[in-house]
Amino acid sequence: MTSHSSQTSYTLIKNGTLITASDTFTADILIQDEKIALIGQDLDIPDAKTIDAAGKLIMPGGVDPHVHLDLPMFGTVSSDDHYTGHKAAAFGGTTTVMDFVPQDAPDLLMNVTAWREKADPKAAIDFGFHMNITQFNAEIAAQIPDLVSAGITTLKVFTAYNGRLRLDDGEIFQVLRIAKEHGMLTMLHAENGDVIETLVAEALAAGHTSPEWHARTRPAWGAVDAVLRGAALAAQAGAPLYVVHMNTAGGVDMLQYARERGLPIMGETTPPYLFFTVDDLCRPDGAKWICSPPMRSQADNARLWEALGEGLIQTVGTDHCPFFYDGATPILYEGEEIAIPGKELGAGDFTKIPNGLPGVEDRLPVLWTEGVGTGRLTPNQFVALTSTNPAKIFGLYPRKGALVPGADADIVIWDADRELTYGAAHAHHRTDYNLYEGWKLKGYPEKVFLRGNLIVDGDVWLGKAGMGQFLKREPGAETI
């Protein structure tokens, strides 16, 4: 390798401990342009830029299967767009995110084009799309297979948000059958919309308007019911199913029931459901914790941790959908003042509080500290849950989520000994609060590479808008 084109660049990461979903070993990694070229012992590449990672861990870049960027809601918009959200993800060690395309226009591919036009110029890391199916008829059914040619192989359906996003069971069953026929995967938001509508109306009529009523009008049993119902519909359609943002012990029990019977049903949770409860919504600033589905109980937290440790839940995403807590007061972002209307819109009425939380940057450091650091997860499980499993489920493996020759050189050099006090001042989300304010974390990304390009170097941002690539996915991805 002493003579090669001047256009080819080599980076050699030496002496690190590689952590994959299955193995832990010491090795060097050679990056050639955007790919991992070689993994081996004592590599000596004279022309390569060399980084000494002795004492550090080397992991594949995180894959977040669930984010909402630049999403209109309740008269405002989520405060991270496809640049700011990608930048925050990168600082947290995530190099791939999966966003959702709303079904605003009757033509599905028109919606995809519109979302690409928003995302492509801003994208700072690699990204893919899921397609929401929130209206269904024969014309939509005929269009769904066209999504595959656009590189979209996943469909999201809802059992809540009556009159806005929800499909009925017969429609969900038809979506599942179409997805099965074309090698696609259906994703399910599992709550009981009918019960929610009734309880919300009763709460407002009784004058119950504070944030905790968001959780009290969305009972946990609705999720239990909807997970089992979704699994039953999938079983009858002969199709795989992926249940997003699981937050209840009973929902986990239903997932277990389905999987024990051989059904290809998979589950995702997010970090807030591992730590927070309805008690947080009772705080004076309880609006900060409003998302759907809502926070539950400590027993639910504990069962979700068990499910992660047992491999019953396959992925940890974030459902990142941030809003300002006080959108009337600007923050400084990249040297400019910015304020976006946020959760203050629901002061005095929980139904008007934008639903969503920041989290895309928090995911890996918080889960490492509270999962690996406490012994609840092994480092290998951590990589599986946050990178390898989502890459496999969503048709990106081994290009993403893997440390193997030929994979994209999406690499995180992780300092397992770094200690810091976390919070909004440290995080890079474009919002004015952080759920983990004041938390003591141990373990944090030191350098982050996107396809061989160093985009995060300590606290320095080297990425830029437009360098992220849209990931066209193939049908027939793995069910795990």
* Same fold flag, 10-59+403-461 and 61-393: no
pLDDT (0 to 100) of residue 1:
40
CATH of 61-393, one of 3.30.565.10, 3.90.1150.10, 3.40.140.10, 3.20.20.140: 3.20.20.140
* Sign of the four-CA dihedral 14, 15, 19, 23: positive
Vertex 451 angle, CA 446 and 453, to 5°: 55
Cα 7 to chain centroid, rounded = 35
What Å distances lie between residue 419 and 51, 366, 416, 427, CA to CA?
22, 12, 8, 15
- In order along its 480 residues, the chain shows pLDDT tens digits of 444 445 899 999 999 999 999 999 999 999 999 999 999 999 999 999 999 999 999 999 999 999 999 999 999 999 999 999 999 999 999 999 999 999 999 999 999 999 999 999 999 999 999 999 999 999 999 999 999 999 999 999 999 999 999 999 999 999 999 999 999 999 999 999 999 999 999 999 999 999 999 999 999 999 999 999 999 999 999 999 999 999 999 999 999 999 999 999 999 999 999 999 999 999 999 999 999 999 999 999 999 999 999 999 999 999 999 999 999 999 999 999 999 999 999 999 999 999 999 999 999 999 999 999 999 999 999 999 999 999 999 999 999 999 999 999 999 999 999 999 999 999 999 999 999 999 999 999 999 999 999 999 999 999 999 999 999 999 999 999
Cα 92 to chain centroid, rounded = 12
- Taking a C-beta distance cutoff of 8 angstroms, is the pair 294, 42 a contact? no
Q: Which residues face 268 on adjacent strands?
A: 315
Q: What is the CA radius of gyration of the chain?
A: 22
pLDDT (0 to 100) of residue 217:
98
Instruction: Give 269's Cβ-side CA count (13 Å radius).
Output: 30
Q: Which residues face 261 on adjacent strands?
A: none
Domain locations along the chain:
10-59+403-461, 61-393
Vertex 204 angle, CA 198 and 210, to 5°: 120
d(CA 477, CA 432): 38
CATH of 10-59+403-461, one of 3.40.50.150, 2.30.40.10, 3.40.109.10, 2.120.10.30: 2.30.40.10
Q: Report the 10 Å Cβ neighbour count for 179.
A: 27
Residue with tokens 């990056």: 31
SS3 250: helix
d(CA 298, CA 296): 7
Cα 439 to chain centroid, rounded = 21
What Å distances lie between residue 227 and 130, 222, 256, 267, 444, CA to CA?
20, 9, 11, 10, 34
Helix (H) or strand (E) segment spanning residue 227: helix 220-237
d(CA 47, CA 18): 23
Q: Report the 10 Å Cβ neighbour count for 439.
A: 17
Residue 247 Ramachandran class (φ > 0 left, ψ -120 to 50 alpha, else beta): alpha
pLDDT (0 to 100) of residue 230:
98
